[in-house]
Amino acid sequence: MRRSPSFEHHNFAWRLQALCVGEDPEMFFPLAETERATARARAVCRQCPVLLDCRDWAIRHGETDGVWGDTTASQRRAIRSAAVRR
C-alpha cells in the first residue's frame, strides 16, 4: 500500500512520548464532544510533553474525531477555518 507523501515524510517520533498511550481510547474519543466528556482527556494532554506536535499534526491532517493536543474536533475545525481565511 502506498501512503501519501505527507505521511511518508512526517516525523512521527513525537508519538513515542505521548502520554495517552495506554489510556482508555474512549476517554480520547468520547461519543459526545461536551466539556464534561473531554475534560479527563484534555487534562492528560495538558501534562503531555508533545502537546504542540500532536495538535499540529491533528490540525494539518484534518483529524475529525477525538481529543488531540488538548483540542476538540470543533476547535480544530475553527483553527483550520481561521487559517484558510488569513
For residues 55-84, b (16+ Cβ closer than 10 Å) or e, as one string?
Answer: bebbbeeebeebbbbbbbbebbeeeeeeee
Confirm or reject binding of residue 69 to ligand SF4 (CB under 6 A): yes
Confirm or reject binding of residue 51 to ligand SF4 (CB under 6 A): yes
Confirm or reject binding of residue 18 to ligand SF4 (CB under 6 A): yes
Among 27, 48, 59, 73, binds ligand SF4 (CB under 6 A): 48
Among 27, 54, 59, 73, binds ligand SF4 (CB under 6 A): 54
C-alpha cell at 81: 477555518
Confirm or reject binding of residue 50 to ligand SF4 (CB under 6 A): yes
C-alpha cell at 55: 495538535
Confirm or reject binding of residue 27 to ligand SF4 (CB under 6 A): no
Measured torsion, CA atoms of residues 18, 57, 38, 30, in degrees rounded to the nearest 10: -100
Which is closer to ligand SF4, CB of 2 or CB of 54?
A: 54
